[in-house]
Chain A
Amino acid sequence: MSDESPTARNEWPLWEIFIRGQHGMSHRHVGSLHAADSEMAIKNARDVYTRRNEGVSIWVVEASKITASSPSDKGPMYEPSQSKVYRHPTFFDIPDDVGAM
């Protein structure tokens, strides 16, 4: 078993599948599958990921077209927001007498 992915001989490309459920939620990543083209990816996504009324809308994106952030950037990317507690409403004390706010 080799650990690197070989340049697949004739393997269908991988697609990432996003599905919007019924209650006005946004599309959510549910998984991936292989298909020759986008049309087939949608058909396969319907069969694989909506067998039990899980969705009313499907997006498919070829996996190779996705750019992802790198885990090693975690620090510089997300740590700055940790010190900015004033961005949360609970930072501010509002007297009870003022009522709900």
Chain B
Amino acid sequence: MYAQMVKSENTDSGPEFDAFQARIDAGERIEPKDWMPDGYHKTLIRQISQHAHSEIVGQLPEGNWITRAPTLERKAILLAKVQDEAGHGLYLYCAAETLGVSRDELTEMLLDGRMKYSSIFNYPTLTWADMGAVGWLVDGAAIMNQVPLQRTSYGPYARAMIRICKEESFHQRQGYDIMMKMAQGSIAQKRMAQDALNRYWYPSLMMFGPSDKESVHSTQSMKWRIKINSNDELRQKFVDQTVPQAEYLGLTVPDEKLHFNQETGHYEFSEPDWNEFFEVLNGNGPCNTERLSARNKAWNDGEWVREGMMEHARKKAANEKVAAE
């Protein structure tokens, strides 16, 4: 998902910890000033920040096509979508900041690689059809994970998720709309749509993180309700939902083993290449260097603006004070 392989801290035991767990089990929300175990606090900072970084870095693959959108309408829609992603990043950074970590600190940890973002954004967007595939598959997978997180135990995180979910459905639908146009278009357009699906299918499945058997951090996070469903559960749900949508488009999911199991009522499918997933997560995907250098450049180039605005605000406040005296 947007937060993959988030390392979960273990927690101690004792009456304070039991009382905390009891609040979570009772469905209560934990708020910023409430007592919380150190592990909960640290894991949340990691998870929410990774989610926020994903939204921000996620603007890059789509930003790539803003100037080359096929029509003015598509361009306006894509701009609105990318602007939403910036907003989602901001909601999440603010939620993380309620845990006592500063925005600049979070940004620096992304820029120097101490913090991660979702593996999916390290894949290139090669054609316009990729804008369709990203909206349909990537945002579709994100929704799967984000809808349950609206009920997560940490209040500010849950509230950010509620805002995000309200806006996310637009993203997926605009992507599917692009896919429909392409799939119903000329032979060349249909080929582009199929090619985009071929390239984005497995990376989308990887978004949910490794298989439950190897997911070492899930148990504690699920106990704390900062993770609601298991990786495999969400992946299955995503495949069950997406395969009929691909069929409607007349496109083929690039998995020869894919078939519907009448007994279970679920699709059976091939696992993605987990070696590739770990490679991408460790910085060796096709676009890792490009993404991080784009973020670093934006941060460095913007430094004089940030400082200038702050200085201007200080001067203005000083002048107002003088005028009032």
Contact of A31 among B35, B163, B306, B317 (CB under 8 A): B163
Contact of B45 among A1, A12, A30, A40 (CB under 8 A): A1
Contact of A33 among B45, B90, B317 (CB under 8 A): B90
A11 to B310: give the CA distance in the assembly, Å: 8
A75 CB to closest chain B CB, in angstroms? 14
A69 CB to closest chain B CB, in angstroms? 9
Docked-complex contact A10 and B306, CB < 8 angstroms: yes
Closest to A29 in B: B159
A10 to B84: give the CA distance in the assembly, Å: 26
Contact of B313 among A5, A9, A32, A40 (CB under 8 A): A40
A66 CB to closest chain B CB, in angstroms? 12
Closest to B91 in A: A31
Closest to B107 in A: A11
Contact of A34 among B42, B100, B103 (CB under 8 A): B103
A37-85 residues at the B interface, CB under 8 angstroms: 37, 40, 47-48, 51-52, 68, 70-71
Contact of B104 among A8, A32, A40 (CB under 8 A): A8
Neighbouring B residues of A33 by C-beta, 8 Å? 90, 94
Docked-complex contact B105 and A2, CB < 8 angstroms: yes
A51-B307 contact, Cβ under 8 Å, with A4-B100, A33-B94: no
Is A6 interfacial (CB-CB < 8 Å)? yes
Is B83 interfacial (CB-CB < 8 Å)? yes
Contact of A71 among B31, B87, B94, B163 (CB under 8 A): B31
Sorting the interface of chain B by its residue count into under 10, 10 to 19, 20 to 34 or 35 or more gives 35 or more
> DSSP class of B's interface residues: helix, strand, loop or mixed?
helix
Interface bits A1-38 vs B (CB < 8 Å: 1, else 0):
11111101111101000000000000000111110110
B316 CB to closest chain A CB, in angstroms? 6
A37-B316 contact, Cβ under 8 Å, with A8-B102, A31-B163: yes
Closest to B34 in A: A71
Contact of B87 among A1, A6, A9, A51 (CB under 8 A): A51
Closest to B307 in A: A10
A51-B83 contact, Cβ under 8 Å, with A33-B94, A71-B33: yes
Neighbouring A residues of B313 by C-beta, 8 Å? 36-37, 40
Docked-complex contact A70 and B33, CB < 8 angstroms: yes
Neighbouring A residues of B84 by C-beta, 8 Å? 51
Neighbouring A residues of B101 by C-beta, 8 Å? 1-3, 5
A40 CB to closest chain B CB, in angstroms? 7
A-B contact pairs, 14 of them (CB 8 A): A1-B42, A1-B101, A1-B109, A3-B45, A4-B100, A6-B102, A10-B306, A14-B94, A32-B94, A34-B103, A37-B317, A48-B87, A52-B167, A71-B34
Give 12 new A-B contacts, CB below 8 A, not counting A8-B103, A31-B91. A3-B41, A8-B102, A9-B104, A10-B306, A10-B310, A14-B97, A31-B94, A31-B163, A37-B313, A48-B90, A48-B91, A70-B33
Interface residue ranges, B against A (CB under 8 Å)? 31, 33-35, 41-42, 45, 80, 83-84, 87, 90-91, 94, 97, 100-105, 109, 114, 159-160, 163, 167, 306-307, 309-310, 312-313, 316-317
Kindly list the 5 A-B residue pairs having the minimum CB-CB distance in the complex, ordered from nearest: A37-B313, A36-B313, A36-B309, A32-B94, A11-B104
Interface residue ranges, A against B (CB under 8 Å)? 1-6, 8-12, 14, 30-34, 36-37, 40, 47-48, 51-52, 68, 70-71
